[in-house]
Amino acid sequence: MKNNTVKQLLESDDLLVGISELSKVTGVSPRQIRYWEQKGYIKSTGEKSGNRKFKLPMVIKVEIIKHFLDEGYTLTTAVEKARERQENIHQAKILIREVFKGIQQVDDRYTVIYLDDFTNKEGFYLIRDNVTNQATYQIIEKESEITGELLKEWFEYSKK
């Protein structure tokens, strides 16, 4: 069930986008992006060729700033709220990286995420039924083989 690709995605910030791509993805004009960079609110990789490249965390930060601006906050407040949100995301990313053990699809219906290595030594599965859009969890003592029948039982049990 181990999935190194997901762990690599959780750990990687290597995605680079140019200013025009950043503008298209976020809906923020290149002019605004350059202004925010000039003010120190965001930063590019500092390409010597003059082409601005932005790493994934900056793409996310621009999106978050825009969200708060759209909510009516001032630019200064939006930047501070974006910083706080990114710190929360960073802490969540660290936590997930430490406990994430794998993800799998079962019977083309269920998405199962296995988390473990908690101080209480119990792990658990987060399960989503992609047909009913319901989610449940199951605490476990050791990694188990996950089958469609087992998942149906877990969902039935969680309804009681």
The domain segmentation of the chain, as residue ranges, is 13-97, 107-158
Per-residue pLDDT tens digits for 132-145: 999 988 887 766 67
pLDDT tier at 150 (50, 70, 90 boundaries)? confident
Strands of the chain, DSSP E: 16-18, 53-55, 100-106, 110-115, 123-129, 134-140
In Å, how far are 24, 65, 66, 73, 74 from 70, measured between CA atoms? 16, 9, 6, 7, 10
The CATH number of 13-97 is which of 1.10.1040.10, 1.10.1660.10, 1.10.760.10, 3.40.1710.10? Answer: 1.10.1660.10
Mean of all residue pLDDT scores within the chain: 85
Which token pair is 33?
Answer: 């992006």
Identify the pLDDT of residue 109: 92
Q: What value does the mean pLDDT take over residues 152-159?
A: 72
Three-state DSSP class for residue 143: coil
Q: 53-55 and 134-140 as β-strands: parallel, antiparallel, unpaired?
A: unpaired
Q: Tell me how many degrees the CA angle 96-148-129 measures, rounded to the nearest 5.
A: 55
What residues are paired with 113 via a beta bridge? 103, 126
